Amino acid sequence: MSSNTQVLIVNNIKLPLNASSNEAFLIAKKRLRQIGINVGDNDLSIYKRSVDARNKGDIKLVYSICAKGTYKNITDAMLSKISGSLLTEGDPLDFERGTEELSAPPLVVGSGPCGLFAALLLAENGYAPIIIERGGSVEERKSKVKAFNELKILDTETNIQFGAGGAGTFSDGKLVTRVNDPISAYVLQRLVEFGAPNEILYLAKPHIGTDILSGIVENILARISALGGTVLYHTKYLSCTHQNGETIAHTSRGEIKCGAILLALGHSARDTYQNMFNSGFLIEPKAFSVGLRIEHKTAMIDKSMYGNFAGHSALGHAEYNLSYNTKERGVYTFCMCPGGEVVAAASEEHGVVVNGMSRHARSGDNSNSAVVCSIFKQDYGSTPQKAIEFQRAIERAAFIAGGSDYSGPIITVGDFLNGECKREPYEVFPTYMNGKNIRLASPESYLPKTVSNSIKNALRDFDRKIHGFADGSAILTGAETRTSAPIRIIRDQKTRLAVGFDNIYPAGEGAGYAGGITSAAIDGVKTAIAIMKRFN
């Protein structure tokens, strides 16, 4: 939106599932007339659409409709009468360019959402950034992931974690964020510009899907290159030095002269973290979560959550977000993928890691999500190195539990809750590595006992909230360990500079400042702005 645009929003318009958006527009116009405002059809658009499924016998679509215009003398009483709100939105990217000269182009390390959006903004403002990415292109990644799934050949540099677009490229492409920031709308608008469906601008729980997201990544990278930026694949950041007033980045492909470095590493760059421990960065450990992936029949989850409305075209497949708190720690579901699959997400040899992925249509037989348990500093020894080793130890134990060949250790929920491990999958069939490379194994052989017991209790609680969640036929696959970075690279809150460094800017999920595609992109945009506010 342009600077200081006013938007009048009419909220809480509830309609039956078969109603069209035109009916929501008519209701909004009628309410607006009650306070003396007349608007035309072209002035109205959907601001938000969600589903109210609290009453399974009467599920509703809930619209918020926005009306463009210039509004004067709008009182709180008028807004209350129409269940409305008035927003004045300025340009979140309005800033003054800095005067300090860059000695060389800025270097962006990593091409996940944080690095992509930072480099895009820098390129569009004439800074000609250099992106280095340790992994390969989107097409290379697809080939390597296929080889891992079918032949168990792991490429430790190009995989589900590393490569163009970062870990988000092979995910559900969720765009929900708890970050309430005006740049969020900017990120969504740019994603639509590069190929995302327009619906992400107004759906309460937007997602893109890996099939569309991979094309968006390629389009953004092409735009950066067309604007004078440089993209270097198979180039791992190692360290940097300062020589004669210049900054030299040392990479696996040689030295790169740069004026500033934006570190958008991603949460799995453990070897780079290790180099940073030895290079004077102030790094602290933080809490994270570990656990399992659970799979149910998509139709069962839909029926449990939507009742007789399950399968209605206006609803799509059901999503859930569950949590359970013990006296000591929390257990919650994370990254729920309706109609998706559990993917092999290892990036290190002799480790098994799982994640979730789905395509835009979400048409798979199974729905899955992580069920993870909180891990605190005292659980692993309160140092960054021990945080990483805690994750790694679980992944290696899961590798052994799966037969030491990257097969996924699985168990039915029935056996897990009964303390057994003997029944082969039935009704629900695992999707890890296409369901071909799996092995029965108890999670207690690779997860800490506290985690395993907490998840057991949580599953029983979740079953009271979603009937069938703890059904015996559901499948658990381990180990889910990469929910977030286990460390945080300390930076100055105002300048965003790494503490102790003059031109290094840690950002995004790998630096400990984001969790998911949208929040990582927002952090990348803000960090790029910090660079541009300083440098001409």
Instruction: Please report, for the domain that includes residue 43, its CATH number.
Output: 3.30.70
Q: What is the mean pLDDT of residues 231-242?
A: 96
Distance CA 264, CA 527 (A): 10
Asked whether the predicted pLDDT for residue 181 surpasses 90, the reply is no
370: phi > 0 → left, psi -120 to 50 → alpha, else beta; which?
Answer: beta
Domain-located, residue 98: no
Does 443 lie in the same domain as 426? yes
Q: Which of 89, 117, 136 is the last residue of a domain?
A: 89
- Assign 178 a pLDDT band (cuts: 50, 70, 90): low
- pLDDT for position 2: 42
SS3 for 226? helix
Distance CA 451, CA 309 (A): 36
Please name the residues in contact with 154: beta carbons below 8 A apart, sequence gap of 6 or more: 148, 346, 349, 406
Does 142 lie in the same domain as 191? yes
Residue 339's closest CA among 312, 370, 369?
369
> How does strand 254-258 pair with strand 246-251?
antiparallel
Distance CA 257, CA 130 (A): 10
The string over 36-70, giving b where at least 16 C-beta atoms fall within 10 Å of a residue's C-beta and e elsewhere, is ebebeeeebebbebebeeeeeeebbbbbbbbbbbe
CB 135 within 8 Å of CB 252: no
Residue 109's closest CA among 90, 130, 127, 128?
130
Range of the domain at 301: 287-480
How far apart, in Å, do the first and last CA atoms of the chain sit? 26
Does 218 lie in the same domain as 192? yes
- pLDDT for position 1: 37
Q: Which of 27, 58, 89 is the last residue of a domain?
A: 89
Does 529 lie in the same domain as 397? no
Q: For residue range 264-314, list pLDDT tens digits in order.
A: 999 999 999 999 998 999 999 999 999 999 999 999 999 999 999 999 999
Distance CA 403, CA 326 (A): 33
Does 529 lie in the same domain as 467? no
- pLDDT for position 4: 59
Please name the residues in contact with 504: beta carbons below 8 A apart, sequence gap of 6 or more: 240, 260, 261, 263, 497, 498
Q: Give the mean pLDDT of the chain.
A: 95
Residue 259 dihedral angles phi and psi, to the nearest 5°: -90, -30
Q: What is the mean pLDDT of residues 182-191?
A: 94
* Alpha helix ranges (H) inside 315-448: 377-380, 384-401, 413-418
Q: What is the CATH number of the domain that holds 198?
A: 3.50.50.60
Asked whether the predicted pLDDT for residue 348 surpasses 50, the reply is yes
Residue 94's closest CA among 178, 1, 177?
1
Domain-located, residue 71: yes
Q: Is 175 exposed, middle or buried (0-12, 13-18, 19+ CB in 10 A)?
A: buried
Q: For the chain, what is the domain count?
A: 3
Does 521 lie in the same domain as 454? no
Residue 110's closest CA among 226, 345, 273, 282?
273
What own/partner pairs with CB < 8 Å and gap ≥ 24 does 307-313 have?
Answer: 307/56, 307/57, 307/59, 308/56, 308/57, 309/17, 309/53, 309/56, 309/59, 312/17, 312/59
- pLDDT for position 485: 96
- pLDDT for position 244: 77
Distance CA 128, CA 531 (A): 13
Read off the DSSP letter of residue 491.
B
Does 330 lie in the same domain as 472? yes
Does 431 lie in the same domain as 410? yes
Determine how many CB atoms are found less than 10 A away from the CB of residue 212: 17
Q: For residue range 201-212, list pLDDT tens digits in order.
A: 999 999 999 999
Domain-located, residue 137: yes
For helices 210-226 and 138-151, the axis angle rounded to 10 degrees is 150
Read off the DSSP letter of residue 135.
S
Amino acid at 10: V
- Assign 441 a pLDDT band (cuts: 50, 70, 90): very high
SS3 for 30? helix
Does 263 lie in the same domain as 158? yes
Q: For residue range 5-55, list pLDDT tens digits in order.
A: 678 999 999 999 999 999 999 999 999 999 999 998 888 999 999 999 999
Does 500 lie in the same domain as 410? no
Does 193 lie in the same domain as 54? no
- pLDDT for position 489: 98
- pLDDT for position 243: 80
CB 109 within 8 Å of CB 204: no
Q: Which of 61, 89, 117 is the last residue of a domain?
A: 89
Does 257 lie in the same domain as 135? yes
For 399-413, the three-class secondary structure string (H helix, E strand, C coil) is HHHCCCCCCEEEEEH
